[in-house]
Every structure is written in structure tokens, then in C-alpha cells.
Amino acid sequence: MILHLADVPQDYPRGGHTDRLARVLLDELVQMPAERLYLPVSDHPKIRALAAALSANPADRSTISEWAKRLALGERTLTRLIDRETGLSFGRWRQQLHLLVAIRELAGGAALQRVSESLGYEPVTAFITMFKKALGQSPTMQSHLTESILPAVIRSRQQWDDSGKHRLIIRGR
């Protein structure tokens, strides 16, 4: 159904077959449980600098201690700051970034080996294991997503949590 809707023009007639399919799909998406796939974003300048650097080079495997030195902070200070600003540990936050980059790349048709390497995982089985543990399915199962579907799903799930931090939530099974 999703693939069919991705192929039809967006100006389909209201009340027709395609409109009914779209409404059923949207109703089902709203009812699905939220996956724990989100990337909290902070306005703190140090966290923004960290996020920009890791977004530009997601394969960077620097430790929290190395990042603290780069950002002119103590390791414990950076650890507490990341936790306070994002609600996640540094390792979990970086993993979330990797998952979102991987899903975007796989949906765009990138090869699994290339995605794994671009995120700094060697061998590729390390990436597959991380992906399966986090999302409960192999990254090859994610590759059926198309570029036209993923952005719409992501945009429809942007939310603000109770603390006012922006979170990107992708709904799924």
C-alpha cells in the first residue's frame, strides 16, 4: 500500500480510491507504537558543535574524553551536559545519529557495505548487529523504504517532548 501511494501523484481526487488508501494508511500510522528512534537536538552551543561535527563525519569514533578536550570541557562536565540536554548518554546519542543516517542512506538505495563503512563500522557484521539490537530487524529489511516515503514519515513524527527539547520520532512496528 505504501509503495502504491508513493507512486501516485499527490493531486489525486478526494474521495476516490487513492484518497481512501491514504486515509487508512495515516490512520494506521497514528495507531502504531512509537519506536525508540529519535535524535534529541539541543540549543547548547557545545552540543550543537558536537552534533555538527558528528553529522559531518559520522564515522568519527572519538571517545567522550577526546570530545571533551576538543570542546574545552572536562569529561564529566560534557557527560552531564549531554545527558541533561538530550536525555541520552553520549554513546546512545551517537548510536541514534548512526541509525538515522543509516536509514536515510539505505532508503536512498545505498549499499549496506558503504553505509556501514561511512559510519565507521568494520566489519559490516558489527553494523548489522547494532542495527538489529536497536531496531529489532536487519538493515536489509529497511532497504525497501523509498526516498519518497521516508521523508514524509519523518516529517509527520516530529514532536516536542515535555522538557521542550525537539525529538525526531519514527513510528514503526
Instruction: Take residue 27 and report the three cell numbers written for it.
Output: 490512520
For 157, the grid coordinates are 513524527
Task: Evaluate if residue 158 carries a pLDDT over 90.
Answer: no
Condensed to tens digits (0 to 9), the pLDDT of residues 103-153 reads: 888 877 889 999 999 999 989 999 999 988 888 788 876 544 434 344 444
Alpha carbons 79 and 101: distance in angstroms, whole number: 23
3-state secondary structure of 166: strand
- Cis ω on the peptide bond leading into residue 123 (within 30° of 0)? yes
pLDDT in tens, 65-111: 999 999 999 999 999 999 999 999 999 999 999 998 888 888 778 89
44: amino acid identity, one letter:
H
Closest alpha carbon to 54 in 106, 119, 131, 135: 119
What pLDDT, on the 0 to 100 scale, is given for residue 109?
A: 82
